[in-house]
Amino acid sequence: MKNFITTQNWSRSELQDIVDFAIELKNNPYQPLLKNKSIAMLFFNPSLRTKTSFEVGISELSGTAVVLQPGKDAWPIEFQENIVMDGDAEEHVKEVAQVLSSYCDCIAIRAFPHFKDWDHDRTDSVINSFAKYSSVPVVNMETIEHPCQELAHILTLQEHFGDLQGKEYLLTWTYHPKPLNTAVANSSLLIASKFGMNVKLLCPSEDYHLDDRYLKAAKENCASEGASFDISYDIDSAYSNADIVYAKSWGCLSHYGKIDEQIANNNQFKHFIVDESKMALTNKAVFSHCLPLRRNVKATDGVMNADYCIAVKEAGNRKHVQKSMLSKIL
C-alpha cells in the first residue's frame, strides 16, 4: 500500500510513470480502472479545481467520490494523541480514519496549515494522522505540499519542452494582500529539482525563505541530478535566461502567525508582480501558476493573456495526472 502524500517518497521514474500514463488517459479518458472503488474526499478548506477534477476524473474511471467537509457538514476532528477531548472536536482521527477506511478504498485530504505556529504546521499533522490510522491509501489534495499540482506542472512542462533536464527554472515569490500557504512553493522546489532542472528561488529577502526542509531537499535533488540550486533577491538577474517562470505568493515564515506583520511585509513588495517587462528578460519562458490567481496583483492581465501563459493548461492537466495516480495506488 502506498500513500501519495509527498513526491519525496516517490522516485523520479515512478513519478514519470504517473505522468506517462496520464497522457494515455488524456487520449482515452474513459476506462473502468476505479470500478467498485470509492474515494472519500475530506475538504478542511475550499476548492474548485481539486474538487471538480477529482470528482469528474474518478467518475470517468467508473469510481465513486464522496465529498466531506469536517466542521461544516461533518463533525470537527481531534488530531492530538492522549487528550481529554473536552474542546470543540467531537471525534478523534483514530476513529475517523478507521471508519472511513472501512467504507472507502482511499482517503484524500485537503488540510491547509492553521497559520499560527509553523513548528506545529510543518508536522502536517492532519494528513499524517490519517495516514497513521487509515488502512487504505491516503492522498494529499494540498496541505503544506501540493503533490497533485506538481504532477500537473511536470506534465504541462513536458508537453511544452519535452525533456526538462537542465532547463532554467525560476520560482518567484509574488505579491498577494494576504499571507498565503507555502504549499505550492514547497512543491515547486521539490518537483523542479527532482526533474533535473536548474532551480532558482527568487524572493524579497531572507524573511521569505521557505522551510529548510524544502530548501535542503531541493539542493539534494539538484545535486543528485547534476543541476544547480540558487536563491536570489535580484529580480532582473533571476528572470534573465529563465525557461520557466512559476509564481506563488506566501506569507513569510519569519513572521508566521503574526498576520499584520506578514501583510505589512508583503505590502513592501508589490513590485514582485509578474509583468510583461520581467517576462521579456527571460529566454522566451513559459509562465505558470497553480491558480487561483488574482489578476493585476500576482500577475498582470498581459502575462495571463499571453500565449506563454500555461496556467490554465496546467490546471486542466490536474484531472489526468490525478486519474493516473489513483489508478497506480488503488
| Residues in Cβ contact with 107 at an 8 Å cutoff, skipping those fewer than 6 apart | 39, 40, 42, 97, 100, 101, 130, 134, 136, 137, 138, 139
**Given the complex with a second copy, which of 42 and 252 has the nearer CB atom?**
42
Query: What is the 3 state secondary structure string of the chain?
Result: CCCECCHHHCCHHHHHHHHHHHHHHHHCCCCCCCCCCEEEEEECCCCCHHHHHHHHHHHHCCCEEEEECECCCECCEECCCCCCCCCCCCEEHHHHHHHHHHHCCEEEEECCCCCCCHHHHCCCHHHHHHHHHCCCCEEECCCCCCHHHHHHHHHHHHHHHCCCCCCEEEEEECCCCCCCCCHHHHHHHHHHHHCCCEEEEECCCHHHCCCHHHHHHHHHHHHHCCCCEEEECCHHHHHCCCCEEEEECCCCHHHCCCHHHHHHHHHCCHHHCECHHHHHCCCCCEEECCCCCCECCCECHHHHCCCCECHHHHHHHHHHHHHHHHHHHC
Binding mask 96-135 for a second copy (x = CB under 8 A): x-xxx-xxx-------------------------------
**Given the complex with a second copy, which of 278 and 319 has the nearer CB atom?**
319
Give the footprint of a second copy on residues 33-92 (CB under 8 A): 36, 38, 40, 43, 46-49, 51-53, 55-56, 59-60, 64, 66, 68-70, 72-75, 78, 82-86, 89-92
**Given the complex with a second copy, which of 248 and 319 has the nearer CB atom?**
319
To which residue does cell 529539482 refer?
A: 193
Using CA atoms, how far apart are residues 87 and 70, in angstroms rounded to an integer? 15
Using CA atoms, how far apart are residues 176 and 297, in angstroms rounded to an integer? 6
Tell whether residue 302 is a contact of a second copy (CB under 8 A): no
**Given the complex with a second copy, which of 14 and 90 has the nearer CB atom?**
90
**Min dist. Cβ of residue 137 to a second copy (A):** 16
Task: Say if residues 207 and 255 touch (Cβ distance below 8 Å).
Answer: yes
Size of the site for a second copy (CB under 8 A): 60
**Min dist. Cβ of residue 165 to a second copy (A):** 28
Give the footprint of a second copy on residues 162-181 (CB under 8 A): 177
Q: Kindly report the CA angle at 44 between 40 and 45, in degrees rounded to 5?
A: 115
Among 12, 94, 160, 219, binds a second copy (CB under 8 A): 94
Using CA atoms, how far apart are residues 228 and 155, in angstroms rounded to an integer? 22
**Min dist. Cβ of residue 145 to a second copy (A):** 20
**Min dist. Cβ of residue 96 to a second copy (A):** 7
Query: Which of these segments, 138-146, 190-198, 251-259, 289-297, binds a second copy (CB under 8 A)?
Result: 289-297
**Min dist. Cβ of residue 103 to a second copy (A):** 5
Give the footprint of a second copy on residues 140-159 (CB under 8 A): none
**Min dist. Cβ of residue 133 to a second copy (A):** 10
**Min dist. Cβ of residue 311 to a second copy (A):** 7
Query: Which of these segments, 121-129, 185-193, 243-251, 315-323, binds a second copy (CB under 8 A)?
Result: 315-323
Query: Which of these segments, 201-209, 224-232, 257-265, 310-318, binds a second copy (CB under 8 A)?
Result: 310-318
**Min dist. Cβ of residue 329 to a second copy (A):** 18
**Given the complex with a second copy, which of 13 and 102 has the nearer CB atom?**
102
Residues that bind a second copy (CB under 8 A): 29-30, 36, 38, 40, 43, 46-49, 51-53, 55-56, 59-60, 64, 66, 68-70, 72-75, 78, 82-86, 89-92, 94-96, 98-100, 102-104, 177, 291-297, 301, 304, 311-312, 315-316, 319
